Chain A
């Protein structure tokens, strides 16, 4: 290995280490804070290292007195519901945008983009009115619908781009081979764009999992709070048990990390290689 290559390898390694430290430090700090008592945290000395002996005590005391599991399961319902609904609609919409010519196609595509230009806070009042009319207040279905409205357009554009990259001749070949038009999605398109579906699933899942604004406004029943709203409830007017907040935040983060690790294996490129010569 030449000196230049060694130097470039060291610089690259250093760059990666910095990025990992920047991204990982908040999680580390979350963990460290969660394993110390409030007295230690506010004792005037910075606690750099986690106290592993306190680990379980801290977590059990954080979860006691609050329906933490219930909140987490509510969040899971909203996140998986948003992912499922968004992807179902987005796959169909993306296929239509990618493969069919129809009147208003351009306007429809722009309208999808336009939804991303509106801040969520602007829609809280009109949505409240709509949800009141349809009985969706204090209802997780309402949260799934509102989050889908924001997550789905992004998914449509991700999936449309992926579908545009699939050669039309593969579908034509399938048509000649006897594949019905309605089965083109499941037989040909979906397996080929699986990496993009996984990417869209991650985005839509986190839209639902991180839901707070609508939950804060539309859900008043404590049993129906998602975990994000539950977490915020730890912050009291006079006292905020910071170690409990951080322990609960870790519990909130864990399922999302597991979901991401599970899905990210599908986000690989080169799946369509070998299909058409080039």
Chain B
């Protein structure tokens, strides 16, 4: 069960650098999620951990030993590919047992014909059979052991791929978006199964996904990547509550964190349309007295009331879209009273903010409303760099 250490790892394809100085230290038995948008380099990173792609510069260490030049089979890893990569000419039984077959084969067993005979012989071995059955039972594949992958559904194939990874009991499991092609229900089920599997086997998992729900629900630690650069490394809670920059703030959370440009004047926030809000007592804030900032507030920290009378500590706004989701209602709104027919019903533009209201809330697009922001755990980002601004709790005034 190795401690994985990334030491200034970079990867270039020709002149194009896809991973830029990747450094992180992942303790044993963690469920690490590499999260980022498509093309951010997360799959490349996983392939470098597996040894399928060479590292351009930097060092990858397993328990303090540099493994840069080590072959995949010597790294004691298992890899579940995005495409499953099952062996279509072999039965489910032979697919799951393949790593065991390879460990028992001598060089001459790989010769044509000999390999078929040896495969049959090893599969009949009681020890191998018991291991295959154990994994098949765990993955609910016992009834399909003698079938070929082409006769299985997507979910079953995915389970075969995971089963093949399980049988060898490696130190590290590497999973490359294994749920991306499953329907929503199956994905949710497999998510729970993989999480349970991690707890059961007690090994390190590295999981690549672009789905932040998967990352938040499965990961014990998350690395958020964008354009080959680590944006943040932390627990799901740290990343959700204290995003390191505006990219992470927008990438994590559904709806994403609301980012509002405003001017910080001491303990008050002045918004472009003239509204002002006071930071509550004890609420941490950037230490500079006066500067432009980007205020970050989670959707569940905003409440919307259908009123045209602006009360104190509320901001005037108007509804753009209201989506009822059963347990909650997601309300999209724009600040100010400038209701325009053309903007109603669309959230695909700037300056649209979103609130998540528990239960059902009837709001008509275009209607005026007032919004109240809970700034207790608000984030502040630099207006130019987008980086999170350090905050401090003000000293109590006497």
A interface residue numbers (CB < 8 A to B):
167, 169-170, 172-180, 182-183, 186-188, 190-192, 194, 270-278
Contact = CB atoms under 8 A, between A and B. Distances in A.
B181 to A, nearest CB: 5
Given A175-B52, A270-B150, A277-B181, A170 B87 contact: yes
B88 A274 contact: yes
A213 B71 CA distance: 51
A277 B157 contact: yes
Contacts of B99: 177-178
B79 A192 contact: no
Interface of B: 50, 52, 71-73, 77-79, 81-89, 98-99, 102-103, 105, 107, 110-112, 115, 148-152, 154, 157, 164, 168, 181
A186 B83 contact: no
Contacts of B98: 174, 177, 179
A174 B77 CA distance: 12
Contact of B87 (A172, A175, A275): A275
Nearest to B111: A186
Contact of A179 (B83, B102, B150): B102
B110 A176 contact: no
Nearest to B75: A176
Given A175-B73, A176-B52, A183-B110, A273 B85 contact: no
Given A172-B79, A275-B87, A277-B84, 18 more contacts: A167-B83, A167-B85, A169-B81, A169-B82, A170-B86, A170-B87, A172-B85, A176-B50, A176-B78, A178-B102, A186-B112, A186-B115, A187-B115, A271-B88, A272-B88, A273-B88, A275-B88, A278-B83
15 contacts: A169-B82, A169-B85, A173-B86, A176-B77, A176-B79, A177-B102, A177-B164, A179-B102, A180-B102, A182-B110, A186-B111, A272-B88, A274-B157, A275-B83, A275-B88
Contacts, number: 100
Nearest to B161: A173
A192 B85 contact: no
A166 to B, nearest CB: 10
B86 A275 contact: yes
B110 A178 contact: no
Q: Give the top 4 A-B pairs by smallest Cβ distance, nearest first.
A: A274-B150, A183-B110, A274-B149, A178-B102
Which of B73, B89, B98, B152 lies at the interface centre, i.e. has the most chain A CB atoms within 10 A of its CB? B89
Which of A170, A182, A183, A277 lies at the interface centre, i.e. has the most chain B CB atoms within 10 A of its CB? A277
B157 A173 contact: no
A228 B52 CA distance: 52
Nearest to B119: A187
A12 to B, nearest CB: 29
A172 B52 contact: yes
B110 A274 contact: no
Nearest to B167: A177
Nearest to A274: B150
Contacts of A270: 150
A197 B273 CA distance: 73
A191 B112 CA distance: 10
A275 B152 CA distance: 10
Given A167-B83, A275-B149, A191 B110 contact: no
Given A172-B81, A176-B72, A178-B99, A273 B150 contact: yes
Contact of B81 (A173, A178, A190, A273): A173
A173 B79 contact: yes
A28 to B, nearest CB: 40
Contacts of A277: 83-84, 154, 157, 181
